[in-house]
Amino acid sequence: MRFLIDNALSPFLAAELRRAGHDAVHVRALGMAAATDQAIFDLAFQEDRVILSADTDFGMILASRSTAKPSVVIFRQSDKRPMVVLTLLMTSLAKIQEALQAGALVVFQDRRIRIRRLPLLRREQE
């Protein structure tokens, strides 16, 4: 998969995802450490990347656009140490990969994973 890791998460995540065979880049490596969430969202859309973040603002951006891409994964669990985030993602990837490829908002919480298909607005209007 192709991932774009937001500044709210460690660059360690990008390096380890690359080691696991994924195309992953951290915003700092792109010189976008101070970029707006909207700029990060736009880049992920253009490059068909899944955004990985701990920032809930990406969910709000998804709700304001009625698009099916990019997919976003938000880590909301209490322990956000890089190795914990990596392990959580890697052990759950088989379960969420199809949804991410189709377009989804995935939220990791302490005791559950929420998956909402995109676009968010269309679902809410149905």
**Amino acid identity of 76?**
R
Q: How confident is the model at residue 59 (pLDDT cuts 50, 70, 90)?
A: confident
- pLDDT mean across residues, the chain: 92
CA dihedral defined by 47, 52, 57, 62, rounded to 10 degrees? 50
Cα(88)–Cα(4) distance, integer angstroms: 17
Per-residue confidence at 120, pLDDT binned at 50, 70, 90? Answer: confident
C-alpha span between 62 and 37 (Å, rounded) = 11
Residue 121 confidence class, pLDDT cut points 50, 70, 90? low
CA distance linking residue 94 with residue 8, whole number of Å? 24
Using DSSP's 3-state secondary structure scheme, residue 91 falls into: helix
55, pLDDT greater than 60: yes
